[in-house]
Amino acid sequence: MSVTPEQTFAEQPAGNHIQPSTQNDIALAYEQYKKEMTKLESLAQRGEAGPLVLERIKELKKLFNSVKNSDVKELSMFMNDSEALLKTTVFASTNASNMDFGDLGGTLPVEDFLQAARRYMNPDLGNDPVGLSADEMHNRFNSLDWGKLGALFYLKGKTPVVSHFLYGPLATKRRRIGPRTRRVDDTKSNIAKTTAQKVSASDLQDDPEQNTTHMVRAVFGVLKNKDADTKVNLYKFFVNPHSFAQTVENLFYTSFLVRDGKFKVTMGPDNIPYVEQVSDEPAEDETSLMTHHIALLDGPAWRALIDNFNITESYIPHRTTAEQSESDSSDESDGGDQS
């Protein structure tokens, strides 16, 4: 008389295994557990291992308690438990997928089933007329309440829910080291090389014309030499009708002079701001209110100032450089700056 896997498992009910105590005993217990699960795979393929699933899970829980109560806890012990749990999960899922819930012994025509399903999802739909266009068929299809059919399936259906999507995190595979990429010595290649431009010590010296401190002093000297004792229209002072970029720079330098107390900006009776040089004598009213302003200047505003105040020449002398000429042509079209 042959012994079946069912009889072998029945002779060893859950809980009769000797509780392992050492690390080697725990490893052997997990190996024995996985061998028993292998013997029972034929039952899962036929969908007849339902009662055994819970017993196997209880046995696996006892083994894991042995791991937690062990004095020595190594990663390999927990890996064995994960592999055993994965094998049990696959076993239970396979059994659930192959379970049979009876046979009616008859067949249902496909067309009758589809007609009944459509009437359930949309009772007002009726039968399909002949000669419908593609748009009409599309509209009839979208009128079906598929959520209603799905809810009926989960409410009345007896199909078990499988758990294949949970297998990934429990898999224990050794990470494979990818192939090393071979490094090529590009110094021996005949391809043309692109190198950085050599810079000499003289190139690192600051150009006085581009130095901010130098330009601030130059702008201060312009007002001091031309109109030291009078007020000058602020717009006519910094706007350069020939260069939007230099207009922005002039406004930038003027803001430094105002911040340092060399210039002051006051509002005239015509609601136009005026700039004037601050005298060396102490101010009579030391409690005068100090304000902070933000100037927004773009290309259209620059051209509007030139037209409104009829600015034909720059109060601050125009600075001619090659880079400045190139930037003016692009800034006038779409330039803008905030100072």
What is the rounded distance in angstroms from the CA atom of residue 329 to the CA atom of residue 65?
Answer: 80
pTM, whole model, 2 decimals? 0.37
Residue type for 95, please? N
Q: pLDDT tens-digit profile of 246-268?
A: 999 989 888 888 888 888 888 88
What is the rounded distance in angstroms from the CA atom of residue 116 to the CA atom of residue 156?
Answer: 16
66 φ/ψ angles, rounded to the nearest 5 degrees: -65, -35
CA 148 to chain centre: 36
Higher pLDDT, 334 or 122: 122
Average pLDDT score over residue span 283-288: 53
274 near 234, Cβ under 8 Å?
yes
State residue 118's pLDDT score: 87
Average pLDDT score over residue span 159-186: 68
Within 8 A by CB and 6+ apart from 42, the residues are 5
State residue 196's pLDDT score: 72
54 pLDDT higher than 50: yes
Q: What percent of the chain has pLDDT over 90?
A: 4
State residue 202's pLDDT score: 66
Q: What percent of the chain has pLDDT over 70?
A: 71
Low-confidence winner among 1-10, 150-159, 170-179, 308-317 (lowest mean pLDDT): 1-10
309 pLDDT higher than 80: yes
Average pLDDT score over residue span 168-173: 58
State residue 155's pLDDT score: 80
Higher pLDDT, 118 or 158: 118
Low-confidence winner among 33-37, 146-150, 329-333 (lowest mean pLDDT): 329-333
State residue 261's pLDDT score: 86
264 φ/ψ angles, rounded to the nearest 5 degrees: -140, 145
CB atoms inside a 10 Å sphere around CB 201: 6
Higher pLDDT, 171 or 201: 201
Q: Categorize the per-residue pLDDT at 187 as very low, low, confident or very high, splitting at 50, 70 and 90.
A: low
State residue 204's pLDDT score: 61
State residue 136's pLDDT score: 82
Within 8 A by CB and 6+ apart from 197, the residues are none
CB atoms inside a 10 Å sphere around CB 219: 23
State residue 219's pLDDT score: 87
Q: Token digits for 255?
A: 């803001």
Q: pLDDT tens-digit profile of 137-149?
A: 888 888 888 888 8
DSSP string, 41-110: HHHHHHT--HHHHHHHHHHHHHHHHHHHH-S---HHHHHHHHHHHHHHHHHHHHHHHT------S----H
Q: Categorize the per-residue pLDDT at 307 as very low, low, confident or very high, splitting at 50, 70 and 90.
A: very high
Over the chain, what is the mean pLDDT?
76
State residue 218's pLDDT score: 87
Domain ranges of the chain: 5-97, 117-163, 209-282+289-338
302 pLDDT higher than 90: yes
Low-confidence winner among 57-66, 212-221, 233-242, 282-291 (lowest mean pLDDT): 282-291
What is the rounded distance in angstroms from the CA atom of residue 58 to the CA atom of residue 84?
Answer: 12
Alpha helices by DSSP H, listed for 129-229, are 134-142, 146-156, 212-226
From 102, 97, 4, 92, select the one nearest 49 (Cα to Cα).
92
